[in-house]
Each structure stands twice: as structure tokens, then as C-alpha cells.
Amino acid sequence: MELIYTNQLDGFDPNKRYRNADLFRSVESGVTKVVVVGDHPAIVDAYEALGVEVIVSELPAAQGEVETDPSKMGVAALREWLTAQGIDYDLKAPKSEIIKLIPAS
């Protein structure tokens, strides 16, 4: 099971499992991968201690400065968006390849 720890208030993918990062108290059993959005070292440390794959994604810049259409994002922002969505991609892939991973809306 994959979990995404974030403090976002909207924009959730109904096919993903989310937890409020500020409410983290302990690891959950059965978790095989964790995406942590923002700076939450306690979550990262706790899951890494169990050998669970952890991906850390930076928080986006202030609202109004953030591109919300993934197809228009720069490479770094697109990679962060894909990570936050729990979408795996090749770290060496060019933008032309990773942009193909954006789900159709």
C-alpha cells in the first residue's frame, strides 16, 4: 500500500491514500511506499527505519506563482507533481517522455 502524507486541502486523487502530515503519530502497517510532501523528517525517518521506500516532494511555491497545469510546468515542477501524485518516472527521462505520464483528464 502506498501512502501520501501531505497538508493539502484539495486536489486529491480518489485512487490514492492520503494522511495529514501534521497528525502523524506512528507508521501504518502494510505500507510499501510513502510520499511525503513538505518537510516532515519524523515521517521520513520512521518509515525509512522499517525499510519502506520514501519519496520526499517539496512544497509548491506560494499560490498564484504555481503552474497548476502539469503539461505547462517546468521539468523540476513536473517531477515534483508526478511524485506528489505517486506516479513513478525515470529520473533521467527528458520532459518529452515524462510529460506522457500525465493522466488524461
If asked whether residues 43 and 82 sit together in one domain, one would say: no
If asked whether residues 37 and 6 sit together in one domain, one would say: yes
Please write the tens of the pLDDT for every residue from 76-94: 788 888 888 888 888 888 8
Domain count, the chain: 2
In the structure, what pLDDT confidence band is assigned to residue 105 with cuts at 50, 70 and 90? low
d(CA 56, CA 84): 9
If asked whether residues 55 and 20 sit together in one domain, one would say: yes
The whole-number pLDDT of residue 48 equals: 94
If asked whether residues 33 and 76 sit together in one domain, one would say: no
If asked whether residues 12 and 37 sit together in one domain, one would say: yes
Q: Structure pTM?
A: 0.57
If asked whether residues 55 and 69 sit together in one domain, one would say: no
CB 46, CB 27: distance < 8 Å:
yes
Range of the domain at 85: 64-105
If asked whether residues 25 and 48 sit together in one domain, one would say: yes
Please write the tens of the pLDDT for every residue from 43-79: 999 999 999 999 988 765 554 555 677 877 777 788 8
